Amino acid sequence: MEEAAVKEVDKIKLRRWRKRGFYSETVLVKLLQKNGYSAVRVPVSNPSLNPLPDIIARKGEHSYAFEVKNASYYAYFPKQQIDKLFRFLNELIPGSNENKHAVVAAHLGKKWLFREISWADWERDKIPDKVRILKRDRGNLNL
């Protein structure tokens, strides 16, 4: 009986955690649109090996694949998730790499931080096991 109660608590925590991610993704889509981007949330983005980002955006000739995390002080982006961004851009978005951008986005309270990951690092397999964004950091991409 006690084990069933623990499983139910775990389900509630998981639902709450997923809602946070959904909320941040939705807020970022609206922020991108407000800044002149065409942007959509990918509802099937998931922790699977499919090369799907959380958000796809375009502005002019540029295409963006975003991985989004909601956190209070810092966010970690595992190498596997960053690799999926590049695979998506490489396999499914035509055009030159200079117009395709893999971006990790941390929603830290009311603050957003964006870090574009370089193609050169990905091509040379120089992406660290985890990319970390702290609230006090500065991003390298401005909307």
Asked if pLDDT for residue 60 goes beyond 70, the answer is yes
Just give the CATH number of 2-134.
3.40.1350.10
Q: What is the pLDDT of residue 23?
A: 87
Report whether pLDDT(11) > 70: no
Give me the mean pLDDT over the 36-51 stretch.
Answer: 81
Phi and psi torsions of 121, nearest 5°: -65, -40
Distance CA 104, CA 76 (A): 9
* Res 17: pLDDT: 52
Among 24, 38, 45, 63, the active-site one is: 45
Q: Which runs of E-coded beta strand occur in the chain?
A: 38-41, 55-59, 62-71, 74-78, 100-108, 111-117, 130-134
pLDDT at 12: 66
- Domain spans of the chain, in order of start: 2-134
Burial 85-119, CB ≥16 within 10 A → b, else e: bbbbbbeeeeeebeebbbbbbbbbeeebbbbebeb
Query: How many angstroms separate the CA atoms of 40 and 28, rounded?
Result: 9
In this predicted model, what pLDDT tens digit does every residue of 72-111 receive, in sequence order? 999 999 999 999 999 999 999 999 999 999 999 999 988 9
- Residue 139 pLDDT: 87
Q: Is 63 noted as a catalytic residue in this protein?
A: no
